[in-house]
Amino acid sequence: MRAMLIDDEKPALAHLERLIRADGRLEPVALCTSAREGIEWLDKERIDAVFLDIGMPEMNGLEAAEHIQQRYPGIAIVFVTAYSDYAVEAFDLQAIDYLLKPIGPARLQKAIARIVPDSSEAEAAAAGGIDAASQTSEMPGVLMFRRLELYDSAARKVRPVKWRTAKSQELFAYLLHQGEQWVPRGELTDLLWPSMPGDKAATHLHTSVYQIRKLLKESKPEMALEYRQESYRLLRGGVETDVERFEREYEELIGSVKGKIDPAEALLALCQGGYLEHHDYLWAESRAEKLNRQRFRLALELAQEEKAAGRTDEAIRLLTSLQEEEPYAEEICRQLMSAHQFAGNKRLARECYRAFELRLEEELGAEPEPLTRQVYERLEE
Amino acid sequence: MRIYLLDGDRESLARTARMLGGYPDVELIGSSYEPEAALSEARGLEPDALFIETRLGCISGLAASERLLRELPDLRVVYVTASREYAVEAFEQRAFDYLLKPLTLERLERTILRLRRSCGSIVHTRQERLDKVE
């Protein structure tokens, strides 16, 4: 799991980083000297836990935590501070832990144990007969949302891969994209080296295949890159990608999220960004769009069920973040109004409509749909 | 979910009980203003959550819940207190939440939402296991 450390004092950052590395369960991937810098990172990188100092200039740790909570409710927050005075506020912000400086290794280990699900829980789940692949707390072996990454489930962290060339990485991603299908050699050379003479492209392909095989041997020995009759395919040996997990569970959940709120939330937490969005592969675009639509539909249904289950706060939080992505979506505006009304806050429901109306007017020169207007008018009654 | 309530101050005990009564899915299975009696009763009732004051006169709320946690390790401890000073210790103890008096409906609501999620998921996993066994 990946951790971010935020502290305006560099020596404190370095000390905490050393302790976290020594413990080994979390990987400190980002060290930031201001909350602002940390929040910018979060937009780009998959982070599981944030260790946050409180006393910082500009934006303090409590403000930062509130922001992170709202935008990325799945991220675990641990305060690390010299002051004991803010622990009540830390509870208000649903922090996982509150560590007083100077931190010792034993106390830090306790905090990390609260973030990293421990092995005894995993064993208990296995004893209960829950299929390991369908158990969402277990991360898939290959990550393709946001960027291509290999996940080491034994170490519970992303295994950094040094790609010799961008083309080797793209070849690997493309073969994953094709499932376990055979892909003709010509298709691969046309895709990766379109302007190169055939024999030269073949040599490049050969080198890339060699690099991928070497990588698999080191990092994912259960997977194999096969060649037969001028075609290649990537056998998984049971390793699933996060995208395949999403597609499989999406089919089970969509239309029946009722009563399955937790699995739906867990599944949405898997989508930490668009499909391979970091790499800008043209061939990935249509699947990226499809996945994004599915994620969107699932999130909308989840919001509806949260509301129906009386968890209006959760519904509103989810809808608000969806609206940031899709500011002109009528369906979101309607659901958001209804969720505010459900929560007994008609004033916010009305504000929500007026802001939407104004946004459409100013940015698109349009008006809300009649149905949306009706929902609003019914509020006034 | 099943909640046990312990507060040495009768007025505040009644107030918290009244507020908890507003949630249809909250079952207040017992309450007491006397720590020793409360501990032995709660031990037998095995609540999902214990709402407890940090100041109980002869014994601190933290020590009291610590004793109960030894026997009920999954118990969710929620402090409802007039004092801020035990919040760091509450984190050490991995308390579920820490609410300041006077308790507001808005803040309590957030605790209940989180409790619902925490308790609900356990029921869900057990159900899943039962399904698998069948």
Nearest to B78 by CA among B10, B22, B40, B26: B26
Domains of chain B: 2-133 (3.40.50.2300)
Give the residue from chain A lying closest to B121, CA to CA: A262
Chain B residues 63-122 within an 8 A CB cutoff of chain A:
84, 87-88, 90-92, 94-95, 97-100, 107, 109-110, 113-114, 116-117, 120-121
Question: Taking CB atoms and an 8 Å cutoff, what residues of chain B touch A100?
Answer: 88
- Test A91 with B97 for CB contact under 8 angstroms: yes
Question: Taking the CA atoms of chain A, what radius of gyration do you get in angstroms?
Answer: 24
Angle, CA of B83, A103 and A23, to the nearest 5°: 125
Mean pLDDT of all residues belonging to chain B: 88
Q: Is the peptide bond before A117 cis (omega within 30 degrees of 0)?
A: no
- Test B91 with A98 for CB contact under 8 angstroms: yes
Give the residue from chain B lying closest to A121, CA to CA: B125
In the structure encoding, which two tokens stand for residue A77, read together? 């927050």
Chosen for mutation from A91, A100, A109, A302 (greatest number of chain B CBs closer than 10 Å) is A91
Confidence class for position B105, pLDDT limits 50, 70, 90 = very high
Side-by-side strand order, sheet with B2-6: B27-32, B2-6, B49-52, B76-81, B97-100
How close, in Å, is residue B113 to chain A by CA atoms? 7
Q: What is the pLDDT of residue B130?
A: 53
Question: Taking CB atoms and an 8 Å cutoff, what residues of chain B touch A97?
Answer: 91
Q: Does A306 touch chain B (CB under 8 A)?
A: no
Residue of B84, B110, B120 lying closest to A88 (CB–CB): B84
Q: What is the pLDDT of residue A118?
A: 63
- Test B100 with A87 for CB contact under 8 angstroms: no
Q: Does A100 touch chain B (CB under 8 A)?
A: yes
- Test A100 with B90 for CB contact under 8 angstroms: no
In the structure encoding, which two tokens stand for residue B92, read together? 């050490």
Q: Does A282 touch chain B (CB under 8 A)?
A: no
Q: What is the pLDDT of residue A190?
A: 94
Nearest to B117 by CA among A118, A361, A266: A266
- Test A97 with B91 for CB contact under 8 angstroms: yes
Question: Taking CB atoms and an 8 Å cutoff, what residues of chain A touch B113?
Answer: 311, 313-314
Q: What is the pLDDT of residue A128?
A: 38
Task: Per residue of chain A (381 residues), give pLDDT as tens.
Answer: 999 999 999 888 988 999 999 888 999 999 999 999 999 999 888 899 999 999 999 999 999 999 999 888 889 999 999 889 999 999 999 999 999 988 888 899 999 999 987 634 443 344 333 333 333 457 788 999 988 999 887 777 788 888 888 999 999 999 999 988 999 999 999 999 999 998 899 999 999 999 999 999 988 988 999 998 899 999 998 888 999 999 999 998 998 888 888 889 888 888 878 999 989 999 999 999 999 999 999 999 999 998 888 888 889 988 988 898 889 999 999 999 999 998 888 899 999 999 999 999 999 999 999 999 999 998 877
How close, in Å, is residue B87 to chain A by CA atoms? 5
- Test A313 with B129 for CB contact under 8 angstroms: no
Chosen for mutation from B88, B103, B117 (greatest number of chain A CBs closer than 10 Å) is B88
Question: Taking CB atoms and an 8 Å cutoff, what residues of chain A touch B87?
Answer: 84, 87-88, 90-91, 98
Q: What is the pLDDT of residue B121?
A: 42
DSSP per residue, chain B: -EEEEE-S-HHHHHHHHHHHTT-TT-EEEEEES-HHHHHHHHHHH--SEEEE-SB-SSSBHHHHHHHHHHH-TTPEEEEEES-STTHHHHHHTT-SEEEESSP-HHHHHHHHHHHHHHHHHHHHHHHHHHHHH-
Min mean pLDDT across A230-234, A319-323, B31-35, B100-104 is at A319-323
Domains of chain A: 2-115 (3.40.50.2300), 142-235 (1.10.10.10), 310-381 (1.25.40.10)
Nearest to A222 by CA among A135, A129, A149, A150: A150
Average pLDDT over residues B92-118: 93
Judge whether residue B80 has pLDDT over 80.
yes
Q: Does A129 touch chain B (CB under 8 A)?
A: yes
